[in-house]
Amino acid sequence: MLIILFIKLLSSFLNPDLDDSSEHLSEKRVQLKKITEKMPYETEIKDPVTNPDLIIPGLREELLYETILNLNSFLFIIEINNMSDKYLEKIIETVIFIGRNKILNLKKHKNNLKDELWKLFDIFSNFSRKIDLSKDSKLKKALEFRNYYFDRDKSQIAKSLFIEELHELKKNLQKYSSDEILELIEVKDFDTKDFKYSKMIKALRRSIIETQNLSKSIQREKREFIQEFIESNAPISQYNHKKLNEIRMEFNLGGSIFEPNLLFQICSDLILGEKEEVIVKAISKILKPIENLELYLRHKTNTERKEEILKFLYSCLKEQASKFRDEIDDAFRARSELMGKYLEKETEQSIIQKEKSIDKYQENFIQDMISRFSEINEAALTNFMVINKDIVHKYIRFLNTGSTKEKSSLIEHFSE
């Protein structure tokens, strides 16, 4: 039955054409560490972020400008050494740009680029003050200069931050092939980007010296810098209307609770005298948090909408604090009750196995929704939330009858 169910999923419900420390550290230094533990963008979303639409360019920026000395460690070094702009420029020229150039030189290893990148990461992880790199004097000088500042930091916070973030970057890049990594480092107009990077670091240094709110400064300056990658690599951040309509439909129909294709197939296979009553009760609860979210977002900006929808998706993926926590929990209980009706004639062992399979499918679907939604430009979110009573009623009727007419009528609400 479960195999048949997943085969049925190949018939897309979304296609309208188909039927279907050091203790001596100052308080300010400790606070800086806390701030730099969470960047304003991430390459792989784990928590709601300030600028999720910059995720792909953010990965490029991190790979090209932060693999030899990440921004968090750089800022900590600046703070504890009270660096001047002159010293910043020296580190940028002799460390950051050298590391960036080594990444770019990997293009010649097209067939085994990923292996060569991992070897380079190992070299970047050498923290000795005397490095044996006789064939690459520039990289040797860059690493030894960086390591000098790592050693001056008796708390070892800067080095720890570097190790942690390089590990995280490697983990995020694991899913990329050599060809995909090659695409990431195919970036134009480096004179502009290098200028923007230097400008960003100097602005952040002034924020530290002037005791401004570092967290907000990082967000603002980093956004401006990463935007350079979006503007010069526009095709990567584009998101076509068909994909937008698909995820709009999936989200508004409660896909973060119960994937619509799967829900439709389960409802189709339900053989109950009170089938309509069961579906009405379940869908009303499943869609309730979506309706409340739509109401909450009506007077928000598109940036706020994106942040809140990502928070919502993460609240569906894992238990975490949310203003919609109770409604989401009720929705998942309704989902479990509906699945219980669907599986009630199965053996206990079969029920356990199928529930695990379906739950895993739903978890993967939510993660995929997060990934796809993160690529959407904020400007496209003005009319993203469209759920209303009419849509709820049409969805219930379609799930109850399977009617092509009801399906077409429902889909019209999600077309531009």
Q: Render pLDDT for 218-237 as a digit per residue (tens, 0 to 9).
A: 555 555 565 555 545 544 34
pLDDT of residue 296: 94
The mean pLDDT value of the chain amounts to 79
Pick from 285, 308, 310: nearest CA to 297: 308
pLDDT at 48 over 60: no
Q: Is the Cβ–Cβ distance between 231 and 49 less than 8 Å?
A: no
Can you give 290-328 as a three-state secondary structure string?
A: HHHHHHHHCCCCHHHHHHHHHHHHHHHHCCCCCCCHHHH
| Residues ≥6 apart with Cβ < 8 Å to 30 | 21
Mean pLDDT of 140-169: 89
CA 188 – CA 251 distance, rounded (Å): 36
pLDDT of residue 290: 96
Q: Could you identify the residue written with the tokens 């203003």?
A: 323
| Residues ≥6 apart with Cβ < 8 Å to 100 | 64, 65, 68
pLDDT band of residue 123 (cuts 50, 70, 90) is: very high
Tell me the Ramachandran region of residue 254: left when phi exceeds 0, alpha when psi lies from -120 to 50, beta otherwise: left
pLDDT of residue 399: 93
pLDDT band of residue 18 (cuts 50, 70, 90) is: very low
pLDDT of residue 143: 95
pLDDT, tens digit (0-9, with 9 covering 90-100), for 349-402: 888 888 888 888 899 899 889 988 988 888 888 889 999 999 999 999 999 998
Q: Cα Rg for the chain, rounded, in angstroms? A: 25
pLDDT, tens digit (0-9, with 9 covering 90-100), for 192-218: 888 889 988 988 887 776 554 444 555
Q: How far is CA 191 from CA 61, 215, 233, 240, in A?
A: 14, 27, 15, 31
Query: CB-hemisphere CA count at 13 Å for 284?
Result: 6
CA 178 – CA 175 distance, rounded (Å): 10
pLDDT, tens digit (0-9, with 9 covering 90-100), for 176-189: 888 888 888 887 77
Query: CB-hemisphere CA count at 13 Å for 74?
Result: 24
Phi, psi of 39 (to 5 degrees): -80, 160
CA 134 – CA 137 distance, rounded (Å): 6
pLDDT at 282 over 90: yes
- Say which amino acid occupies 229: F
Structure tokens at 415: 């077309």
pLDDT band of residue 75 (cuts 50, 70, 90) is: confident
pLDDT band of residue 83 (cuts 50, 70, 90) is: confident
Give pTM, 2 decimals: 0.47
CA 342 – CA 351 distance, rounded (Å): 10
pLDDT, tens digit (0-9, with 9 covering 90-100), for 295-353: 999 988 888 899 899 999 999 988 878 889 999 999 999 999 999 998 888 888 888 88
| Residues ≥6 apart with Cβ < 8 Å to 261 | 9, 12, 13, 14
pLDDT at 406 over 80: yes
- Range ranked top by mean pLDDT from 146-155, 223-232, 242-251, 327-336: 327-336
pLDDT of residue 38: 33
pLDDT at 119 over 80: yes
